Every structure is written in structure tokens, then in C-alpha cells.
Amino acid sequence: MKRLTVFLLALVLLTCLAPLAAAETYIEGYLGNNFTVIAPNPVDLSANPAYRGPTKLGLEYPRSMSTALTGGLKIGTWFSREGFPHVDYPDWMKYLGFYLDLNYHEFFFLQGAGSRRMDITPSPGFLHFQNYKLLGNGNIMTLGFMFAFRYGFNPTEKVPFGKIQPYVAVGPAIMITGIGPSLMFQPSDQYMFFTVFNKIPRTFTGSYQSLVSLGLETELGVRFMITRFLSIDTSAKYRYSRPSTNYDLSIDGFTHHLHFAPQFNLFSIQAGVAYHF
């Protein structure tokens, strides 16, 4: 992580040292809204064999979605002769570029979602079961290595490539996910058509962990050049990742193992302002 920070700072410094006439290297800040969609059944609980409780655990959790504010930073360049580091590229390479995309946002499990029955075998009562809910919130930081293609419309003397520049980008991403998931259990009995909650619900939380995983990022957007050195960028982004880890949950003096492997599908829309060098 320290080497990555040094690399980013060096890239920013080199970008700032580029001549102002270049205007094909840029740094951008953006804000938007992210929609985190988690695929069904991200958890699996393995009970301690010595525990005299649920011995048949069929955890099921539905697909969930949460929204949160997202923000980030882009540092990039186009492979034109005017862009950093001023290589004499072939003219057709001006349609291609590369940028780093650093993004951050939070996500959470809705408290009212995910209530499912977990059968208890052997049953201590008539149709005895436990309702459970998956709770918790976390955050995701993404560093995308994006390879981009653009096209230009409405060229002018000051912006010869075009004042309107739609683009598409795709690349691998490093995703750091932090979360400490919780399971809330509500012991219950079913009598005819009535459900009786016979105990106070209990919540068990795994320790907070930071998970590093590889993912995929794609982006589709349009850049509007206000001047040669200033632009507005609007885009839609999709990211995919599936981190995996294990937690130990202590229940009634017994340690149980919770396997947490969420499949993240991240959709976001954002707008930003860029300064071109």
C-alpha cells in the first residue's frame, strides 16, 4: 500500500510538471450515488458439533441492495502527442487512454431484510425454529486500472479533438472491503397459524476485517470540454468483486464458524470536474 501511495504521488507530480499546452493529461474529482447489490446467500454457518442447539443449518438470505454516497479521484492521460509524457504516438492512438480511478463508498444490510427460518434438529418443541437476520455495514475502496477509448464531436480551434468526448473504459480493480457481519437469532415456535417468540433475540457479531480482492470495473461516460483546461464528466460505472473470509462466533461458550463470501455487484452514477494539463 505504501508503494502504491508513492506511485500515485509521483504520477500527480509528473502531471503537474507537464506543460500547460498539453491539456491531454487530467486530474478529476467526482461525486455520485452507488447501488450495492449483494447476491443471495452470502453466508454459511457451521455449528460446533458439541453445541446442543441447531444441528441442521440451512441459512438462506435473499438478494439485497443498499445505496450510499460515493466519491473518488481520477488521474489519467490520453495517448496523444500533447499528452504526458509527450511521446510521438501514431495519430490513431489519440483515441486511446489510461487512468487510475480511486473510489470509496459504504454499504449495509437492511435490518428488516433477510428474515429466514432456521430449523432446529432435534426440535425441543412443536415446530421449533429460529428466525435470523444478517445485519451489518461496511465500506469498499476501489482502485481501478482503466483502459479507455474515446471519440470526439464538435472540434474547435482550442479543442481540436472535440468539445464533446464520449468514452468507454474497462480494467482490473483492487477492492478493499471492510465489514464485521452480525447474525441476529430469534427463537420461535409455530402453533397452527400463530408464531410465538419465546425468547429475547440475540445478536452475534464477527470481528471487523479488511478483505482485499481482485475485481472488474467498467465505465461509460461523456466528457464536456468547457475550456481547453477544464471539463465536466458524467458517467455510469459497474464493478464486480467476490471477497471471502471466515469469522468465529462465540455462542453459549461454543465457537461456531461463519463463512462470509458476498458477491458484490456495484452500480453507480457520478459527475465530476477535471483540470487538464
131 found inside a domain: yes
pLDDT, position 120: 52
Q: Alpha-carbon distance 216 to 27, whole Å?
A: 22
14 found inside a domain: no
Provide the terminal-to-terminal Cα distance of the chain, rounded to the nearest Å: 27
Q: Residue 106: is its pLDDT beyond 60?
A: yes
Q: Residue 261: is its pLDDT beyond 90?
A: no
19 found inside a domain: no
Q: In whole angstroms, how far apart are CA 113 and each of 60, 176, 181, 201, 252?
A: 12, 25, 14, 16, 26
47 versus 92: which is more confidently predicted?
A: 92
Q: Residue 98: is its pLDDT beyond 80?
A: yes
The whole domain housing 52 covers 28-109+118-276
Average of per-residue pLDDT across 193-199: 57
Average of per-residue pLDDT across 155-184: 91
Number of domains in the chain: 1
124 found inside a domain: yes
Q: What is the pLDDT of residues 114-166, one digit of tens each?
A: 555 555 555 444 445 566 777 778 999 999 999 999 999 999 888 889 999 99
φ and ψ at residue 265, rounded to 5 degrees: -120, 110
17 found inside a domain: no
φ and ψ at residue 8, rounded to 5 degrees: -65, -40
162 found inside a domain: yes
Write out the chain in H/E/C secondary structure.
Answer: CHHHHHHHHHHHHHHHHCCCCCCCEEEEEEEEEEEEEECCCCEEEECCCCCCCCCCCCCCCCCEEEEEEEEEEEEEEECCCCCCCCCCCCHHHHHEEEEEEEEEEEEECCCCCCCEEEECCCCCCCCEEEEEEEECEEEEEEEEEEEEEECCECCCCCCCCCCEEEEEEEEEEEEEEEECCEEEEEEEEEECCEEEECCCCEEEECCCEEEEEEEEEEEEEEEEECCCCEEEEEEEEEEEECCCEEEEEEECCEEEEEEECCCEEEEEEEEEEEEEC
Cell 452470502 appears where? Answer: 42
Q: Do 169 and 149 contact (CB within 8 A), yes or no? A: yes
pLDDT band at 84 (very low <50, low <70, confident <90, very high): low
2 found inside a domain: no
18 found inside a domain: no
pLDDT band at 262 (very low <50, low <70, confident <90, very high): confident
Three cell numbers, residue 91 = 495519430
Average of per-residue pLDDT across 79-104: 85
